[in-house]
Structure 1
Amino acid sequence: MPIPVTPLFIDGQERPSSTGASFEVRNPYSNEVVGRAAAASSDDCRDAVAAASRAFAAWEQTPPVMRASIFLKAADILETAEYREKHTVAVKDELAAADAIIGGDFMGSIMSIRETAAIIAELKGDNAPSLLAGGYAVVQRRAMGVIFAISPWNAPLALSIRACIVPILCGNTVVLKSSEVTPRTQALAVEAGLPNGVLNLISTAKSEAPARVAEIIAHPAVRKINFTGGPRVGQAIAVEAARHLKPCVLELGGKAAVVVLEDADLETAAKAIVFGALLNSGQICISTERVIVQRSVAAQLLTAVKKQFSELRAGGPGCSLGPLFSEASAEHVVGLIRDAQNAGAEVLLGDGKRDGAVVQPHIVAKVTQDMKLWHNETFGPVVVFVEVDSVDEAVEKANDTEYTLMAALWTENVHTAFNVASRIRAGTININGQSVSSDSRLGGLGGPSGYGRFSVAEFTDTRNLFFHPSKPMIYPL
C-alpha cells in the first residue's frame, strides 16, 4: 500500500509545499512510517494568511445563521460511516490510539460542532443612553480578522475543530497549523465545505515549526492567536505575540486534583478517577494526576482504584490503553517516577519502566511537595494518592500547584460542595464527576495552564458607535 501524503490546504485547494518538502509521520508503537505531510515554506504560510485575509471581508458579512448552517451540514457529513472510517484509520496509524480515545475524539468533534453552532445567539451588542442629551451609544460585536490557530495531537480532530469553529462562527477566518504528529487526522477538519480561504491548513516539520509560527504571528493581517498544548511552547508563543502586541488564547498544561471527602460515593468516584487518569493513557491536559482523599476512606478508595488500574494494560492494537506519543514522553514519565522513588515515594502499582513508548498504569503514594512528581505534569498514566485529615488540608494541597486548569470534588453534601469548590483555585471544578469533562468554558487562570476561553468575547472586538445629538453642540473653540 502506498504511504498516505497529507497536503496543505490553502484558499480551498489542496497543494504540496512550494519547495516540495515533506516530513515523515511514524506510528509511536511500531515506529513504522505511516504517512508523509507537506512541510510548509515561508511562502506557503504567507499564501495561507493572504487567502484568509482576502476571504474575511465577505465572510464577516455572511449572516451568522448561514455560518452555523454550514457547520451543521459538516457535522452530518462527518457522522457518516465513510468519515468515521477515515478518522479511525488515521488515528490508529498516527497515534496507535485505543478505541476509547478514537471514539471520544470522533463523537466529541460532532457534538462540539452542533453545540457550538448555537453561539451565534451571543453575537449581539448593547446600547445605552449618552451623557449628552439626545445622544445614543451602540456597542457592536465584530469579527477581528485572521486568527492563527495551533492545535495539538492528543484529541486531533476534536481540538482542531474547537480551535477553528468559534472564531469562524464569529465571522473571522483562520489559518490552522496541525501537529507534526497527526497531520492526516487533523486534515479532516478542513472538509467542512466553507468558502475558499475561510479555513486554511498548514503543516510543518518539527524543526521548522518555530520559524514558521513566528512568521505567521508577525504577519500584519493576523489579529489573534489561539494555542492548545504544553506550557513551554505556549510561553514561547506568548512572547512572540507580545513582540507585536497581539493577544492570545492559551490552553496549556494541567495537574488536576480530585478531592474526595469522607461522605463521597466512593465506588463511583473510583470509576471516575480511573477514567480521568487513564483515558488516552493520561495524555490530556485535564487528566487526573493527583487524588487527595480524607484518611478515613482512603484505604477503601485506593483498593477500588488499584483493582481497576490493574485490569487495564497499555500497548498496541487490542490493548485497553495505547502507547504514549513518543519514547521521549515515556522516558519523561518514568523519570518522574524514578525521581520520586529515590526521594522516598512508594509505587503501589506499576514497574517504573517503559517498553519503547509504552508505560503501564502507575499509582504512587508518599509523594511530598518537594518532589518533581508533585509539581510537574506527567502527561502519562500516573496518579498520585495523598491522604489528608481535614477538608482544609485537602484544599491546601489541591491549591499547591501552579496549574489551574481543572479539578474535581466528591461529596454528597451540596452545602459542602459549594463551600469547598469555591476555595479550589481552578478554572473548572467538577462536582461528583471526572476531571476529563469540559466545554467551551474550559480555561486556566494564568501561569502554566494558560488563559482565555474559546468564546464569543475572545474572538470578537467591541466597537462603540456614538451618535451625537442632532442639536448642534456649542464648541468652546
Structure 2
Amino acid sequence: MAPFTPLFIDGQQVPASDNGTFNVYNISTSTVVGISASASSADCTAAVEAAGRAFKTWEKTTPYARRDIFLKAADLASSAGWRDLIIQATMEEMNSSLAWAAGQHMEAAPLIRTIASFANDLTGKTFMSSSVPGLQCVMEQRAMGVIFGIAPWNAPFGLTLRALATPIMCGNTVVIKSSEYSPRTQALAVQLFHEAGLPNGVVNYISMSRESSPALTAQIIAHPLVRKINFTGSDRVGRIIATEAAKHLKPTVLELGGKAPAVVLDDASIPDAAKAIVFGAMLYSGQICMSTERVIVQRKAAEPLIAQIKSLTASLTATDMQGESSKNAKLGPLFTEGSAENVIAMLTEAQAAGTELLLGDLARQGAVVQPHLVKDVKPGMRLWDRESFGPVIAFAVVDTPEEAVELANASEYSLSASLWTCDMYLAQRIAPLIRAGYTNINGPTVHAEHIVSIAGLGGSSGYGHFGIDDFTDKRVVATHPLGRQFPFLQ
C-alpha cells in the first residue's frame, strides 16, 4: 500500500479536515507511489494561526537556544536512519538517481549547521543621533512574524530546508507548502526539526492538490498574520506569487529560473572547462536553476572546447530509472512528459532557425531526453531566451571578451554564471561585468555557498536571498533626552 503523508499543524500529524487526498505518481511508470493529505481552506487557516500563536514565544527564545535545536537537527540528518528516509523518499517520488538523492542528503547537515551559525550575527547596534544632542538610538534585527514558504520538487528536501531554516533561526515561524509531486520528501524536513525539539507551531506543513493550490495559496498570502513569502520555482509561477503578494503590499523572496552562461576565453584550461560545463549542464538532466545552459566561447578556444564537451557528453545516456540497468545511471528522465515535449520543441525550433545540431536525436522516449549540443544559437531564439530545464547546451562563438560579456548579459535571467581564463587580472576585470548573482571563476555554474544563497538580480530569476537581512526587520528605538526645546514652542 502506498505511504500516506499527513499535514503537520501545531506539532501534530493530521489528515485534511475534510479528508481530502491526492495521489502522488512516479513520473516514468505512472504508478502511485504515495497518497497525500490535501489541505482544505480551514486547514490553511489553522496552520497560519498555529504559527501566529507560536511566534509570540518563539521570537523571545535566544538565538543560542535556537542554534542548539539546529545542531541537534544536523546530527539527526547525519544519522543512517534519516539518510535512508531521505534517499528513499527522494528516489521514489522524483524517480531520481541514487547519486542525486544521496547528494540531497549530504547537503542537509552542512546547510543546517551553517544557518545555526547565524546565531552570532543576529545583533543590533547603538548609535547617537546626528541631529538631536543626547538622543540615543538602538537598532535591532527583529523577527517579522509568520513566513509562508513554498518549495519546489526538483531538490525537495534541501530546498524545503532552505525555505524554513533561515526564517526560524531569525525567530520567525513558518507555514511550508510542498509541491504536489514530492510531499513525502518535503514533509521529512519539517519532521526532522520537530524531532530535534522545535516547539509546536513553529513550523507547519501543508500539501494540497494541483487543482486547489491557486486559490488556497492566495488565501494564505492574504492572511493578516503572514508577513512575508518565499518562493522557489519557475518565473511563470513566481510572477503569480508576486502579484498576489503585491495586492497586500507584502514582501517576497523569489528564487526563480536560470539560463546560466559559461564564458570561456581563449586562454582557458580547456579540459577543466569542458568537465565543469558538462557537469553543470547535465547534472540531474539539467533540471537545476543554476544549470549551465549557454556556452559563450572565444573563437580560438571554440574548436577544442566543443570537441571535448562533445566527447564527454556522448558518454552519458539518460534512462527512465527503471530496472537493474538504471541502478548506476547518471542521467534520469525529465520531470514530466510535458517537460520533455517542451525541450524537444525548443530544439526543433532552433534547428529550423539555422543552428547546427552537434549531438542529439531531437526525440524523446516518454520523459527521457538524451543530451543535446547545439551551435550558433542566438538571442531571439527560444533556446537562448528561455530556460529549457533539460540536458541541453547552446553554443555561441565570439571574437572578444567584451562580446562574450554582451552575449552573457543578453538574457532575462541572472542567477549564476561562470568565467574561464587563466589570467586572473583579466578574470577580475571581466567577472564583475557579467550580470549574475554568482559568477564562478574557473568553476561550474552549479555552485553556491550556504552562507550567501544564490539569488537573482530581478527579472526572470527573481530577487532576494535566504539570509538574515531578508527575514528580519530593522527596528529602531530612539530614547529622547528630557527637557528638549522645540522651535515653535519656545
CA contact (8 A) 1:361 1:381 kept: yes
CA contact (8 A) 1:134 1:470 kept: no
Structure 2 Cα separation of the partners of residues 278 and 155 of structure 1? 15
The amino acid across from 2:244 in the alignment is: E
Structure 2 Cα separation of the partners of residues 16 and 347 of structure 1? 51
The farther-off stretch of 119-128 and 63-72 is 119-128
The aligned residue for residue 369 of structure 2 is 359
The aligned residue for residue 43 of structure 2 is 44
Structure 2 Cα separation of the partners of residues 293 and 100 of structure 1? 30
SS at match of 1:293: strand
Q: TM-score normalised to the size of structure 2?
A: 0.96
SS at match of 1:206: coil
The aligned residue for residue 135 of structure 2 is 135
SS at match of 1:433: coil
Residue of 220, 223, 240 corresponding to 1:236: 240
Residue of 464, 469, 476 corresponding to 1:452: 464
Structure 2 Cα separation of the partners of residues 110 and 331 of structure 1? 36
Alignment of 1:170-249 (within 5 A): 170-191=170-191, 192-193=193-194, 194-249=198-253
Residue of 232, 253, 258 corresponding to 2:257: 253
1:347 aligns with 2:375: no
The aligned residue for residue 443 of structure 1 is 455
Structure 2 Cα separation of the partners of residues 297 and 472 of structure 1? 71
The amino acid across from 2:442 in the alignment is: N
Q: CA RMSD in A?
A: 1.1
What are the superposed Cα offsets for residues 411-468 of structure 1, whole Å, 9 maximum, x if unpaired? Answer: 1111111110111111110111100001333101111100111111110011111100
CA contact (8 A) 1:59 1:173 kept: yes
Structure 2 Cα separation of the partners of residues 81 and 29 of structure 1? 28
Shift of 1:84: 1.1
Residue of 374, 378, 400 corresponding to 1:390: 400
What are the superposed Cα offsets for residues 93-132 of structure 1, whole Å, 9 maximum, x if unpaired? Answer: 1111012321221111221111121112221112211122
Residue of 413, 417, 423 corresponding to 1:407: 417
SS at match of 2:280: helix
The amino acid across from 1:224 in the alignment is: K
The aligned residue for residue 154 of structure 2 is 154
Structure 1 Cα separation of the partners of residues 437 and 42 of structure 2? 39
Structure 1 Cα separation of the partners of residues 150 and 21 of structure 2? 19
What are the superposed Cα offsets for residues 361-404 of structure 1, whole Å, 9 maximum, x if unpaired? Answer: 11111212221111010001101111111111111110110111
1:468 aligns with 2:480: yes
The aligned residue for residue 30 of structure 1 is 29
The aligned residue for residue 436 of structure 2 is 426
Structure 1 Cα separation of the partners of residues 337 and 400 of structure 2? 40
SS at match of 2:488: coil
SS at match of 1:337: helix
Q: CA 1:136/1:27 → structure 2, altered by over 3 Å: closer, same or farther?
A: same
Q: CA 1:295/1:46 → structure 2, altered by over 3 Å: closer, same or farther?
A: same
The amino acid across from 2:415 in the alignment is: L
Structure 2 Cα separation of the partners of residues 474 and 443 of structure 1? 47
Structure 2 Cα separation of the partners of residues 181 and 390 of structure 1? 45
SS at match of 2:289: coil
SS at match of 1:197: coil
Structure 1 Cα separation of the partners of residues 230 and 472 of structure 2? 13
The farther-off stretch of 43-52 and 95-104 is 95-104
SS at match of 1:101: helix
Structure 2 Cα separation of the partners of residues 311 and 72 of structure 1? 41
Structure 1 Cα separation of the partners of residues 486 and 391 of structure 2? 72
Residue of 310, 321, 340 corresponding to 2:331: 321
The aligned residue for residue 270 of structure 2 is 266
1:292 aligns with 2:296: yes
Shift of 1:46: 0.2
CA contact (8 A) 1:100 1:279 kept: no
Runs of 5+ unmatched residues, structure 2: none
The amino acid across from 2:120 in the alignment is: A
Structure 1 Cα separation of the partners of residues 231 and 48 of structure 2? 17
Shift of 1:475: 6.7
SS at match of 1:387: strand
SS at match of 2:433: coil
The aligned residue for residue 386 of structure 2 is 376
Q: CA 1:303/1:474 → structure 2, altered by over 3 Å: closer, same or farther?
A: closer
Runs of 4+ residues deviating >6 angstroms: none
The amino acid across from 1:57 in the alignment is: K
Shift of 1:472: 4.5
1:310 aligns with 2:309: no
CA contact (8 A) 1:45 1:216 kept: yes
Structure 2 Cα separation of the partners of residues 76 and 381 of structure 1? 35
Shift of 1:474: 4.9
Shift of 1:142: 0.4
The aligned residue for residue 279 of structure 1 is 283
Structure 1 Cα separation of the partners of residues 64 and 133 of structure 2? 37
The amino acid across from 2:126 in the alignment is: N
SS at match of 1:476: helix
Structure 1 Cα separation of the partners of residues 444 and 67 of structure 2? 30
Structure 2 Cα separation of the partners of residues 96 and 442 of structure 1? 26
Q: % of aligned pairs identical?
A: 53
Runs of 5+ unmatched residues, structure 1: none
SS at match of 1:187: helix
What are the superposed Cα offsets for residues 117-157 of structure 1, whole Å, 9 maximum, x if unpaired? Answer: 11122211122111222211111110000000000011111
> What count of residue pairs does the alignment treat as equivalent?
476
The aligned residue for residue 337 of structure 1 is 347
The amino acid across from 1:270 in the alignment is: A
CA contact (8 A) 1:259 1:292 kept: yes
The amino acid across from 2:272 in the alignment is: T
The amino acid across from 2:455 in the alignment is: G
